[in-house]
Amino acid sequence: MKTPFAVISDLHANLEALEAVLADIDAQGLGEIACLGDIVGYGPDPGPVADLVRERATKAVAGNHDWALINRPLGFNPLAKDVIEYTRDMLEPKFYHLFGETRERWAYLEGLPTVLEEGDLAFVHASLRDPLMDYCFGDRHPMWNPKQLEEIFPKVKRICFAGHTHYPAVIRDDAVCWYPKDDAPRFPLEAGRKYIVNVGSVGQPRDGDPRACYAVFEGDAVRYRRVPYDVERTRDKIIAIDAIEVRLGDRLREGK
């Protein structure tokens, strides 16, 4: 991919957040987008969100929710499982969908790989140790586990872009962690070091900031963008759907 490019992850069927992020990406003049999965799950608009990813993403990998949509939600909590079943009812082609958009969308989601590599860059939903389910948190999170880095970093050539935690952070190969702030959104990348770049979440941030989050890779640095969107509209859509618990809409207000 040609730098600079945008990296988005964990969209979770949040159309308002994705549309706001895509508008910001366009305003930044970024021509290419990598999507790190979890296109569906939790949110009310899986079809339109999947269609936008198909249209706009230069490359994309599957997240655990995308995988569960196609293969069954094994190990999911009841809230997440209910939304996956609702999403399958909406998106899975029926016998009369022999051709057309419904079948093409399903085929796209079904065909997403779990890992993509381009030179010394890797794109994955969770980690190169476990592409779908590994939670690689930074040192501010109670699930911080520096021992797991000893297994992950040998698999990283230079930079691994990841999501899954919904918590933006850059982790260096010496376990130094950096977190973006509004007054310091850019982190320089040193030559000769390896990095895990967690790009945060577009559709369901969990770092206490309700604004959608994505990252821009500039070659020698990573820059984060926070984008406000119409949270209340998304929440209202969730409340109107019996299969999605209200709390999944309420949490969008606080970014948790």
Please write the tens of the pLDDT for every residue from 85-130. Answer: 999 999 998 865 666 789 999 999 999 999 999 999 999 999 999 9
Which residues sit opposite 169 in a β-bridge? 198
Question: How far apart are alpha carbons 213 and 197 in whole angstroms?
Answer: 13
Q: What residue has token string 């999170």?
A: 141
Q: What local confidence, expressed as pLDDT, does residue 100 receive?
A: 73
The answer, yes or no, to whether residue 236 has pLDDT greater than 70, is yes
Q: What local confidence, expressed as pLDDT, does residue 97 receive?
A: 60
- Residue type at 244 in one-letter notation: I
Region at 219 (left for phi over 0; alpha for psi -120 to 50; beta for the rest):
left
Please write the tens of the pLDDT for every residue from 173-184. Answer: 999 999 999 999
Region at 114 (left for phi over 0; alpha for psi -120 to 50; beta for the rest):
alpha
pTM, entire model = 0.95
Q: pLDDT confidence of 1, banded at 50, 70, 90? A: confident
Architecture of domain 5-254: 4-Layer Sandwich (3.60)
Share of residues in the chain with pLDDT > 90 (%): 90
Q: What local confidence, expressed as pLDDT, does residue 2 receive?
A: 87
Q: Could you state, in order of their start, the residue ranges of all structural domains in the chain? A: 5-254
Reading the block at residue 173, the tokens are 């190969």
Q: What residue has token string 């618990």?
A: 245
Q: What is the mean pLDDT of the chain?
A: 95
Cβ-in-10-Å burial (0-12, 13-18, 19+) of 144 comes to: middle
Please name which of 248, 202, 230, 189 lies closest in space to residue 52, comparing C-alpha atoms.
Answer: 202
Q: CA distances (Å), 11 to each of 24, 102, 149, 254, in order? A: 15, 20, 26, 17
Q: What local confidence, expressed as pLDDT, does residue 115 receive?
A: 98
